[in-house]
Amino acid sequence: MALTPTERDRLLLFTAAELARSRRARGLRLNVPEATALIADTVCEAARDGLRLAAAVERGRTALGPDEVLPGVADVVTEIQVEAVFEDGTRLAVVSSPFGDRPWDSGAPGAVIPASETVEGPEPAAALAVRNTATVPVSVTSHFHFFEANPRLDFDRAAAYGMRLAVPAGSSTRFEPGESVEVALVPIGGARIAIGFAGLVDGPLDAPGAKAEALRRAAACGYLGAERPRGEQS
């Protein structure tokens, strides 16, 4: 059976989550990878059941209590992000405080309070008009290949190829239903290899013919803006 890298990642997550559930059933407290996998899988399965984003996140948030994880896990895992497939497409689900409030949230003595200074994002290299045609909000994380973002986001896909949002690492941008906004983009750095995401590239971004093939796949899958000439506004 041929599986895409995204499908293989999903099966790996499910396997890790099943292991975590088995260990929890034996009365063991979970470590960081086990707890993360169980909560992320819970969100993905909630999406598969037809739940909306908010309900899926809430199901993930209530999947584990602080007494079900090893000491220190709740301090390390303060947020879990997972790309889940909802009825309207792949969307980012962010589960914050997955085991309940952290010490600094409740003002507990001795708590470590994070710095409040604003974290600057990278210097923008391009700007792109984006319109959310979906009936639900869509969020895109900082290092997601923007070309492969939710198919109901309408923008110039060709101009976004090989780019990501120019926002601080770990943050995300939210697009409300019917909203049209301008976003800043920067080229993806490092080895410039896109594996997973929506499966439109799954390889080196700058390989000969990679962009044309990715645009063909996007258009065939109904991604808005995939057939728009480069440079045309959304």
Digit-coded pLDDT (tens) for 34-54: 999 999 999 999 999 999 998
- What integer pLDDT is reported at residue 6 of this predicted model? 81
- What integer pLDDT is reported at residue 228 of this predicted model? 58
Length of the chain measured in residues: 234
- What integer pLDDT is reported at residue 109 of this predicted model? 45
pTM of the model: 0.52
Q: Which residues contact 87 (CB under 8 A, 6 or more apart)?
A: 50
Q: How far is CA 15 from CA 2, 27, 41, 50, 183, in A?
A: 18, 19, 9, 21, 37
Range name among 7-21, 146-160, 220-234 with the lowest pLDDT average: 220-234
Whose structure tokens read 């969020």? 139
pLDDT digits (tens, 9 = 90+) for 140-190: 988 899 999 999 999 999 999 999 999 887 788 999 999 999 999 999 998
pLDDT band at 214 (very low <50, low <70, confident <90, very high): very high
Q: Quick check: helix, strand or coil at residue 128?
A: strand
pLDDT digits (tens, 9 = 90+) for 113-131: 555 455 566 778 889 999 9
How many beta carbons lie within 10 A of that of residue 1, not counting itself? Answer: 3
In the numeric block, which tokens belong to residue 111? 């708590």
